[in-house]
Structure 1
Amino acid sequence: MKIWWLDYHPVYNTVNFENYEDGKNVREMVQDASPLSGNWIRYNVILNNKGKPSDILNAVGGALIVSERAKDIITQIPNLNVEFLPLSSSEGVFFVLNVLTVLNCVNPNHSKEKRLGSSNKLIDYEELELYKDVVQDKDLFRIMLHEGNTVLPKIYVSDRLKDLLENNLEGYQLVEMWDSEFSWRQKEEKYASMCEEVDKSIKGTFNFEKAVNYVQKNKGQLIYSGKWALKVDEENEIWLGQLSLNGTYSWINPIYYPPVILGLTWGTK
């Protein structure tokens, strides 16, 4: 059993409030997951058309702006405690998805907390451990901090809703946040072991400058350092890869390299 964070994806079409103050007001209204349909007014929004259709078009505090198709798909699951608050636009039919289910489901003894400076105030979680009996059979919800009454802005979905979204919608992100069978500590241990194995397997070591020269002269070859890898594309542009838990690399063409990358020792396999 897994729990997923549902979010919009900025490279796809997005929707923004025509008036900045309207967007600010909506962010404040959805903050604590209270019902809003009784006093809701239609706010004007505009579509930022990037040529990549999307059904989850923006995040607004603790809510999402969604398409009519997203509304139709999500409501296929009965008895969800949500509101679809209509927006005004000449460019499509859009809604604010206001999720009203808030769960006190965090196991504080096994989660990694994020606290604020000298006040030590709990503001978020870097890693989550959830109570399975609380989140089981909950398809769409938000989470309350285990200290105080703050409701976190992220919207979480079940495996069942994730599958429904993946089969019917486009232009969004689903990020795994919790796995009942594989804790974040176990993932960290596995990842550290994978990085160690990479370092043990490399032969011939280079600094960053020589590593770049190597991959540019040996197209198709990769060079490694812990969780990182370097390669070039057909235009001889350098790509930086980060190792994933599944053993593959996610690649970016970086604008700049942080100092930690520049100081690493690299090698070939």
Structure 2
Amino acid sequence: MKVYELRNHIKSMVISSDYDKSHPITSDFDGESKLFKWSPFKVETVSKKSYKDFPDYVIGKPVISARVKEVIEPFVRTEVEFLPLMHEELDLYMVNVTNVLDCVDWKRSDFESFEDGTLAGFNKLVFDFTKIPKWTYIFKFKERATTRVYVTEAFKDLIESHKFKGLDFSVVFDSEFTEEKEQEQKRNYELALEEIERKKGVEFSYEEARERVDKGQAVASGKWKMQLDEKGRFWLGELTLDLTYQWIMPIYTPPILLSYLWHEVEKSEIK
């Protein structure tokens, strides 16, 4: 079995809203029903981009188009609620995931806690797949029910078979990913970083790195990479354990990057 974190694609349209603070949208989406207190509210497009099937709204509160709802509803009707939205052009629904599972493999996961013992976050998340029922399509786990949504391979196949666009299935958890394979992945990742270090040429400051990026070059420092896309937009990439880059369009510069030395590298395809 494979499980994927439900993430929007970087090419998904972005929507926003202005709502009354008493509306259920302001509450935590932790698995509890919202349907009977829900009333449609207006959302508007912030950035059109390419894909409209899964508009990007707020993490943990997925939004889908009516045509996606029509396809997935027979399969997920016991796992979610569809909450209608109002948009001037599109028929959209927010998805409230009510299927909350207790399925974290705490022995293999790496996590941090606050002083009071509550969960602060995961450095590494591993699922106990024996606690995810075979016919599951979409779920949350209770320790992060307000912010994270996960889907299974069955959901991914359903979306891709209908050629819907707007989700990024790059964050994957695999039941066949054993501890031995995990150690091998870590070794390959370390070797990749060593190779980047070995091949680096002249190094320069962050300020010079940004100047070179603005001129169309790509630069790297360890696991980090910066470059422009074909439209001249700035992207920051982080090399992941599966040796692909996770790209973001940052709204600010992480301060730690300012102290790094950078060097020129080949440009990557931004997906």
TM-score norm. by structure 1 comes to 0.73
In the alignment, what sits opposite 1:163?
Answer: 157
In the alignment, what sits opposite 2:13?
Answer: 13
State the Cα deviation string for residues 104-132 of structure 1 (Å, max 9, x = none): 0001111121323x334214323211111
Deviation at 1:235, TM superposition (A): 11
CA distance in 2, matches of 1:75, 1:107: 29
CA distance in 2, matches of 1:153, 1:253: 20
CA distance in 2, matches of 1:233, 1:67: 28
Give the letter aligned to residue 41 of structure 2: N
Deviation at 1:22, TM superposition (A): 5.2
State the Cα deviation string for residues 11-65 of structure 1 (Å, max 9, x = none): 5323333424255x3241x53312233x233222122153334222244564322
Q: Secondary structure at the match of 1:21?
A: coil
- 5+ residue gaps, structure 2, are 267-271
In the alignment, what sits opposite 2:53?
Answer: 55
User: Cα–Cα, structure 1 residues 250 and 88, in superposed 2: closer, same or farther, change >3 Å?
Assistant: closer
Deviation at 1:163, TM superposition (A): 2.4
In the alignment, what sits opposite 2:188?
Answer: 190
For the Cα contact (< 8 Å) 1:107–1:131, is it kept in 2? Answer: yes
In the alignment, what sits opposite 1:72?
Answer: 70
The 5 A counterparts of 1:241-252 are 242-245=238-241, 247=243, 249=245
For the Cα contact (< 8 Å) 1:127–1:177, is it kept in 2? Answer: no
Q: Secondary structure at the match of 1:71?
A: helix
In the alignment, what sits opposite 1:125?
Answer: 122
How many residues end up aligned between the 2 structures? 256
CA distance in 2, matches of 1:234, 1:142: 36
- Higher-Rg structure is 1
User: Cα–Cα, structure 1 residues 40 and 86, in superposed 2: closer, same or farther, change >3 Å?
Assistant: farther
Q: Secondary structure at the match of 1:119?
A: coil
Q: Secondary structure at the match of 2:6?
A: strand
In the alignment, what sits opposite 2:269?
Answer: none
In the alignment, what sits opposite 1:41?
Answer: 38
Deviation at 1:94, TM superposition (A): 1.7
User: Cα–Cα, structure 1 residues 169 and 114, in superposed 2: closer, same or farther, change >3 Å?
Assistant: farther
Give the letter aligned to residue 7 of structure 1: R
One of 92, 101, 118 as aligned partner of 1:94: 92
One of 205, 208, 221 as aligned partner of 2:204: 208
RMSD: 4.0
Deviation at 1:4, TM superposition (A): 0.9
User: Cα–Cα, structure 1 residues 259 and 123, in superposed 2: closer, same or farther, change >3 Å?
Assistant: closer
Q: Secondary structure at the match of 2:67?
A: helix
- 5+ residue gaps, structure 1, are none
CA distance in 2, matches of 1:232, 1:63: 30
